[in-house]
Structure 1
Amino acid sequence: MPELSLQPSTALSNFDSQFLWTGICCMAFHLDLKFFLKRGNRIVEEKAVEHSGIEADHYVLEVGFGPGIGLEAAYNKIKDGKGKVFGLDLSPYMLETASKLMSEGITNNQVELHLGSVMEMPFESNTFDRIFHCNCFYFWPDFDKCAQELYRVLKPNTFMITTVDSKKLKASEEKGFLKYGNADIEFYMDVLRKNKFENVAMETHGPESKQYQVISAFKGAKEE
């Protein structure tokens, strides 16, 4: 087993008490939601990677990586090239779980996982060719700050992909898993637009029984 650095990002130490409490509540409900969506979550994770168009030399970030399904799919896209997959999650448990799954990539220095918040990410500006996330934005304590950080670390003229299963999302709301979250997709898209993302759009894919939604958001010119 490779040695792993599980030290949290400095972002967590900068939370005031309000954000810390919000983060604790959101993390607990995030775990509940991940387990509730587990069966269908593989689909939206793998589809996020598919729609990201990841190439072998890309630097890729997943935020809110959970047990690591999306990380694994992204790693399979870059492992024969010069690319690298990065992950960021608030949950120490998910970090430990995903680290075990991704041990090969970590050993090869092609996977790097961090414990921390999207609100203050430990990455340089203009680092990533692709960013993707699934079942994540509902729990952001400050939508504007998170969108600004995602925009900052994304390279110019590249894009971010968000995938959701709106039917399962509605069921999660009805079961109370989103009590401390905001699952309003239109609100999320408006926040991205307000914070400099361009060509923000949503499409529905898949047969009726297995439909999922893909939200794309560009930093700079949209690739034709």
Structure 2
Amino acid sequence: MASQKLTKLFANSFKLATSDLANQYALPVKSMTGMIVSKYGASKSRRLNEKVVEKMDIGKDDFLFEIGFGRGDAMKMCFDRVKDGRGMVFGVERSGYMNERAIKRFVLEIAETDKIRIDSAVDLRNLPYPTDLFNHVFHVDLFYFLQQNALVNINRELLRVLKPGGTLICGMQFDRLKKLTENRILEENQWDPMRYLWALETAEFSDVKINYHKDPQIGEYQIISATKSTDPLAGQDPEELMKKLAMDMKKERLAEAMMNDKKNFEDL
């Protein structure tokens, strides 16, 4: 009996510890566990961040936007590419702890160059940026923690802030994600790339694809990419466009009729 109680206590303790690790991996908070988990994640994803930044082929005048920047390694890589031009690096992060760490890390760059901007974004479906602003939007180890029913609207918002012809890049590494699944930090369906490809296509991104690459340091890794079409009508259903046009015309005629009625009343 005592042995069974001890086994149950150990199992419950392990479950709680695993749950805490999973929560800290998704949204680090200011604590010893948060510091360790965020450092571990940054060390494991650093090379993948390098490959994602290389993939974007950044110009010195480009405007870049990272979602979920963590400890800011990729933001630093991007800053080094735009610091001598007119470009800027933007980033949003749900974790207040990571946000605080990044602001401290880039305090000089923010004060002296104004080329790094760090924002909080509780809801990625409502970003504080104008339409057609960024040349590139990117993220690493992010979409796994986003709710399925929010993915499409989040990607529609990312599409909005991208310039026509701009690119979205997502970096991931199946082997590392499988290990996290084995350790009960992630569920396999969370990082299934097909759910993200589907969300990008549904949000009306163009040229959505996943490519497999190999690197001598980290082995195989995957890059999901998509673009914002330069044709504002590309990918849209013709019947839906006609319905929208008809509705807009009705609204215009109604507004015109109301204005005429007002003018006729004033002439009486």
Following the alignment from structure 1 to structure 2, what is the Cα–Cα distance between the partners of residues 50 and 207? 13
SS at 1:206 equivalent: strand
Shift, 1:189, TM fit: 0.6
- With the length of structure 1 as denominator, give the TM-score of the two structures: 0.81
Q: Does the residue aligned with 1:187 lie in a helix, a strand or coil? A: helix
Which residue identity is paired with 2:117? E
Residue matched to 1:103? 107
In the alignment, structure 1 residue 70 sits paired with structure 2 residue 74: yes
Q: Taking structure 1 as reference, are residues 198 and 129 closer, same or farther at Cα in structure 2, changes over 3 Å only?
A: same
Contact 1:140 1:146 in 2 (8 A): no
Q: Percent identity?
A: 29
Instruction: Decide which of 83, 105, 129 is 1:79's aligned counterpart.
Output: 83
SS in 1 for 2:71: coil
Query: Does the Cα contact within 8 Å between 1:203 and 1:214 map onto a contact in 2?
Result: yes
Matches within 5 A, 1:64-213: 64-107=68-111, 108-116=113-121, 117-141=123-147, 142-179=150-187, 182-207=190-215, 210-213=219-222
Give structure 1 stretches of 5+ with no counterpart: 1-24
CA 186–35 in structure 1, closer or farther in 2 if over 3 Å, else same = farther
Q: Give the equivalent residue in structure 2 for 1:6.
A: none
2-structure distance, mates of 1:54, 1:207 = 20
Query: Residue 181 of structure 1: CA displacement?
Result: 7.7
Call closer, same or farther: CA 1:149–1:169 in 2, change over 3 Å.
Answer: same
Kindly name which structure, 1 or 2, has the bigger radius of gyration based on alpha carbons. 2
Partner in structure 2 of residue 8 of structure 1: none
Q: CA RMSD in A?
A: 2.3
The answer to whether the 8 A contact 2:208-2:226 is kept is yes
In the alignment, which of 38, 42, 58 is matched to residue 38 of structure 1?
42
Q: Deviations over 1:104-162 (max 9, x none)?
A: 32111000000113222111111101111000011113111111111111111111111
Deviates more, 1:165-174 or 1:75-84: 165-174
Contact 2:63 2:135 in 1 (8 A): yes
| Count of matched residue pairs | 198
Shift of residue 35, structure 1, vs aligned partner: 4.6
Q: Is the 8 A contact 1:132 1:162 kept in 2?
A: yes
Change (3 A) 1:192 1:50: same
> TM-score normalized by structure 2?
0.69
Q: Which residue of 1 aligns with 2:228?
A: 219
- Counterpart position of 1:55: 59
The one-letter code matched in structure 1 to 2:142 is C
Task: Please state which structure has a larger fraction of its residues in helix.
Answer: 2
